[in-house]
Amino acid sequence: MSKLFSANVLVNAALFQIVWLCCVIGSSYGLTWPAAFSFLALAVWQLAPARRAQSDLRLLAVALVLGIIVDSLWVQLGFLDFKTNGPISGFAPLWILFLWLGFALTVNHSLAWLKLHPLLPSAMGLIGGPLSYYAGLRLGAVEYLVDHLLISASLGIAWALTMIILVKLGDRPE
């Protein structure tokens, strides 16, 4: 079986989808614990020495910093309001930081294919970022406080840049 469809890649992708659902749906009910426990399951799986990529820990640290900055910025600018507040008012809530951390653990694994072409990461961020937040909007985890086109364009640009950073920091495919 190719590395593109290895057991680790498939489990990584499935666990991240669970993290996404637990973070977003949990938030829409005002709960953070589903985000924490689902991320913990992904982290235990992916950070086991046999599956851990060399840069996974670095990606976790960078994603956490980016998550705090980027999603707190949306709140501070009055672009977004997250249903479940973070420990510090006006900043990114914990559930979305768990989502950023979970996403970081996909970069070297189920999203490693993005490293095959220099334009793929930015295209993925430009399209996927706004779609993910829009899904969160539809599920009640986040509220757009400005025009949908403005926030979608802003999210797309931010995620295009974020994806470039994360993929550059990730390990190269073998």
pLDDT tens digits for range 96-128:
999 999 999 999 999 999 999 999 999 999 999
pLDDT, tens only, 53-90: 999 999 999 999 999 999 999 999 999 999 887 778 88
Query: What would the 3-class secondary structure string for the chain be?
Result: CCHHHCHHHHHHHHHHHHHHHHHHHHHHCCCCHHHHHHHHHHHHHHCCCCCCCCCHHHHHHHHHHHHHHHHHHHHHCCCEEECCCCCCCCCCCHHHHHHHHHHHCCCCCCCHHHHHCCCHHHHHHHHHHHHHHHHHHHCCCEEECCCHHHHHHHHHHHHHHHHHHHHHHCCCCC
Residue 20 has pLDDT above 90, yes or no: yes
For residue 3, the model assigns a pLDDT of 64
pLDDT, tens only, 147-167: 999 999 999 999 999 999 999
